[in-house]
A and B are shown apart, each in its own frame.
Chain A
Amino acid sequence: MVEVLSGPTGRGSYSGALLEVENLQVEFHTRQGVAKAVNGVTYSVNPGETLAVLGESGSGKSVTAQTIMGILDMPPGRVAGGAIRFRGVDILKLPEEQRRRIRGEGISMVFQDALSALNPVFPVGWQIAEMFRIHRGSSRSDAKKKAVELMDRVRIPGARDRVNDFPHQFSGGMRQRIMIAMAIALDPEILIADEPTTALDVTVQAQIMGLLADLQRDSNMGLILITHDLGVVADVADKIAVMYGGRIVETAPVHDLYRNPAHPYTKGLLESIPRVDLKGQELYAIKGMPPNLLEMPSGCAFHPRCPYRREDCATAVPPLYPISGTRGSACHYWREVVDGSR
């Protein structure tokens, strides 16, 4: 058995990407049938790299992240196939006790709504200090001292005085900082941020994104940023994976994707961002509704809403066609999309 967490010295003793998700399939068994929430997702993150996973609700982006963390509710959820390799080891095959030790130490997660994600009845400092006490066996006073340092590091003003305050006594942005402090406490190699700014107002969003970017630069961790907000990712992400209906429909380095999307869905998303220079014109919206996971459209899941669709789109599932380098598009007619002819 390979010990995944062999301490800080063990880092770097693997070949390949730091975290690789390969052909992951996750199903939910409900009374109405089986919903394939994640249907063959493949992506990878390296140290110091930021991967933005983009997609609307129900696209499978959060389920993928929860599966990586091992916090998926099972049942109803079930991993039907694929692998998640962390430092070369498939963590899906590890016994629960080893997976537990990876959580927080190797891979950490920041959640969307910090008010409900923090425990309401314990002081924030206690919740941060718990990481050191459980994973490192630190004493109460040591752990508390480290908690104050972390609160300083995520720029909470007056950290020393606020360490015994409860989550409800903080503002939304400060609460999210505490979540982040808790997640980075043990210096994890991968940080997953699941819509970390969705519940915050715009000015605070920028601060939190800036904080995440700074922390990542300091510690060289891999960051998986899950969002549905295209504006958030442009500045911080290195590469983007766009998800639709449980699949990745486009992967690209961030600037290529913004400059020239290669999938009709990505293109639709970019066109639906409000723009100042088009003020007064009707806002573009992708027609139709997101797919029902229980009744996935045949062929390409996006075809009922796609302006580029042809007859074979309803029958043949498009693979992720390689375009160049790390770029790929799951559209039979990606050339037309890139050329911009509609």
Chain B
Amino acid sequence: MGRYTIRRLLQLIPVLLGTTFLINYMVWQLPGDPFAGRCGQRPCPDSYVSAMRAQFGLDQPILLQYWQFLKNMLSGNLGVDFNQVPVVTQLADAWPITIRLALLAVAIEAVIGISAGVLSGLKRGGFIDNVVTISTLFLLSLPVFVTGFLLQWLLGVQFQIITPTVSDEAPIMELIVPAFVLASLNMAFTARLTRTSIVENRRSDYVRTAIAKGLTNRRVVGVHLLRNSLIPVLTFLGTEVGSLMSGAIITEGIFNIHGIGGLLYRAITGQDYTIVVPIASLLVLVYLVSNLLVDLLYGVLDPRIRYE
């Protein structure tokens, strides 16, 4: 397992280099001059544009720019954005909020999705199963922004149970509904995956053995059946952590959460690539690391998988 982990970590390096280079390259290839529209109604004077270009190194060849970017990332010095505000402080303010939101969403996915899946899988065709099937279908067919605006309007405006938007510090209590919105699609999928897995494993031989051993029904289901059925579910939840973070853009937009989603959105519309590039690169890193963790977790959950 140790050697496997090291090999996988080494594999991350070329992938990271490749993706970050593509991000850098493509972002600067986008049409439009980021400095042309920064002077109100009038076009910016050439002296301003060329000064900015020189400051951000845009007059240099792309490979040199990329080298500079790598040096900055590794030293943790990300410089300033086009408004001369340090990028690092903006990221440091935004990341914790998004991480909190994403973890909350994963928790909601896991708790609600798995419970609903187990309950419906155990009594296939029963009342709970029908409720779960219909409500997951409902969630799966609704885009996140519809669920988001709907809940915001219903709970925040009509019933006034929650504040419609999240305050700057983004406390956990205010993040519950946004996290639910962010989690909704994956939660529905988790419930269905769990249900299928439970139904499949329920008739398996080792469950029959567990019953024949004279174990209580609770132990048969809670230990023998669940432990096996959760293997695909936990790996799914793990791989989705990365997409959950990038998916937070829409949710953060709806509930006005000042996480990386909002930051990224504003940076893209303002063509401020000094922010877009580090965030996109960090999201890639989150993806890669969470995938690696899932692969390692898989070996722990299922002893039949062994890495040498």
Contacts and interface: CB of A to CB of B under 8 A. Distances in A.
Interface of A: 69-71, 73, 100-105, 108-109, 111, 113, 116-122, 130-131, 134-135, 166, 168, 179, 182
Given A73-B203, A116-B205, A121 B303 contact: yes
Interface in B178-226: 203-206, 208-216, 219, 224
A73, A119, A135, A179: which has the most chain B beta carbons within 10 Å? A119
A75 to B, nearest CB: 11
A130 B219 CA distance: 11
Nearest to A185: B213
A252 to B, nearest CB: 29
A131 B213 contact: yes
Contact of B216 (A100, A113, A117): A100
Contacts of A122: 224, 227
A135 to B, nearest CB: 6
B213 A111 contact: no
Contacts of A131: 213-214
A102 B304 contact: no
B304 A111 contact: no
Given A73-B203, A108-B212, A118-B206, 14 more contacts: A71-B212, A100-B216, A102-B214, A103-B213, A111-B209, A119-B228, A120-B206, A120-B304, A121-B227, A121-B228, A121-B303, A122-B224, A134-B216, A166-B303
Contact of B205 (A69, A111, A121): A111
A109 B301 CA distance: 28
Nearest to A70: B211
Given A120-B303, A121-B303, A168-B303, A130 B213 contact: yes
A118 B209 contact: yes
8 contacts: A71-B208, A100-B215, A102-B214, A118-B209, A119-B206, A119-B227, A120-B206, A131-B213
A100 B214 contact: yes
B303 A134 contact: no
B59 interface: no
B212 A130 contact: no
Given A134-B219, A166-B304, A109 B224 contact: no
A68 to B, nearest CB: 11
B168 interface: no
Contacts of B302: 120-121
Nearest to A179: B209
A274 B213 CA distance: 38
Given A69-B212, A108-B212, A134-B216, A168 B304 contact: yes
